[in-house]
Structure 1
């Protein structure tokens, strides 16, 4: 069998294995998914009135803050879901499954490709679940009536590209960790970074010395681009910065992960 059909066949097999594993052990995915869902409900029902006063909705009208909040939570969902990929591949390493795969007559890259595609699909499915839960947000004020079909397609493409970039980074974290617990801890910045981005408050409301950190980290350009596509706000330089971050993280994560995977076991 030639190289390409072999790679596609083995990658499909590994993808199916990872999806079956996620279906049989859903607790990790559910735990990671519940975080952004609970944040959505928390900021809408508990902090919504107070936070909306600073965004412009007024103390009695939370709709503007809900609209501001939802795009950031969608990106945060991707960040939290990819932690599961880091933990999953670390478990494969610790349990000797990857070592077993290395001895088999399969395409070596298919192991990583299966994890990456599986991680991206889980991220997208998690976003869909949050959007479905966000039907609650629609009922309480979130609107995206100005977005065209093209803008929705571009928004979906941005989410998929962002998920791909973070998943490659998560794979590298999982491969470089000595155990699943360490992989989970190493991947925690993927949850913490959205908290210091513009997901919850505008950058101009932060201390002056901290604004450049919040403005130019990976999540903020993606969040602002998503807001521009769905809510019609100004995108400005955030669009190309978001794409640059996605491509840069992918270019960093892919060779890092493959180098760790191909190194000789000790």
Structure 2
């Protein structure tokens, strides 16, 4: 009896051959490696799911834009244009650009937060296109930019803004703004990887964004400014973007301003995209 039990145990503990083990573990074909587009869209969906589970993230693209429109329209409208209704025709496209450009900094904050949590260590081990993690962040934030634009336009129309370019002009203006903001966000992904805390990312971002947005034609025509300031304002990327969006929504086609805006967007991607990926690969 003992001999039989010992024999059975020996048979159960016999070593498994390499071929049988491979057949057991690899029962099916290995799934194909995801394409760059598929991986980027997956990470973009991840960013959208974060908004779904933490809806408070939408506060900066809803309440903040509404506050900006109301405050500047009624604060400066009478002094600069004679009435808030007249001023909002000039202000709304500019304040739309300003608000969306300002919320691009949260891309860098999100990147920095995920680095601190160690999520990127897992991403780097996956067999995917390396830039897809960054592109996914930016695609998810593009939804935030679109929501902010729609909210501000709704408030502006209720206050008397009338886009003479119609639905086509408004759609073209928003598309140009989202494309520019997507490219501009690469700057903040770089800072998100470069700086150690999210507070540092926000501090540096505000130091760059505030002068860039306020020293532009968002609020007033640059012709009322001193000559030395006009030289900076007229060549600012925010000025070109605000003029392009203002023209498109007003029923015009400002080719020069559109070209400048797209050119600046290309510069941001070509300069800060490789720098971001170099930092990401070395982090």
Distance 1:116 1:190, change over 3 A: same
Are 1:187 and 2:205 counterparts? yes
Please say if 1:22 is aligned against 2:54: no
2:45 is equivalent to residue 11 of structure 1? no
Give distance in 2, aligned partners of 1:28 and 1:205. 38
SS in 2 for 1:174: helix
Residue of structure 2 aligned with 1:118, choices 140, 145, 166 = 140
Provide the residue aligned with 2:89 in structure 1.
67
Partner of 1:172: 190
Q: 2:124 aligns with which of 92, 97, 102?
A: 102
* TM-score, with structure 2 as normaliser: 0.81
Q: Is the 8 A contact 1:79 1:191 kept in 2?
A: no
Following superposition, the deviation at residue 42 of structure 1 comes to 0.9
The count of corresponding residues between Structure 1 and Structure 2 is: 252
**Larger Rg computed on CA atoms:** 2
Is this contact kept in 1: 2:163–2:170, CA < 8 A? Answer: no
- Give the secondary structure class of the aligned counterpart of 2:234: helix
Give the direction of change, closer, same or farther, for the CA distance of 1:20–1:77 in structure 2 (3 Å limit).
same
Instruction: Return closer, same or farther for 1:13/1:28 CA change in 2, 3 Å cut-off.
Output: same
Which residue in 1 is equivalent to 2:231?
212
Cα RMSD (Å) = 2.2
Q: CA deviation at 1:28?
A: 4.2
Q: 1:224 aligns with which of 238, 243, 260?
A: 243
Instruction: Find the counterpart in structure 2 of residue 48 from structure 1.
Output: 77
Question: How far did 1:104 drift?
Answer: 3.1
Runs of 4+ in 1 over 6 A off after TM superposition: none
In the alignment, is the contact (CA less than 8 A) between 1:33 and 1:80 conserved in 2?
no
Q: Unaligned regions of 5+ residues in structure 2, if any?
A: 1-30
- In structure 2, how many angstroms separate the alpha carbons of the residues matched to 1:236 and 1:116? 26
Change (3 A) 1:196 1:233: farther
- Shift of residue 148, structure 1, vs aligned partner: 4.9
Mark the CA change 1:239 to 1:106 in structure 2 (over 3 Å): closer, same or farther.
closer
- TM-score, normalisation: structure 1: 0.85
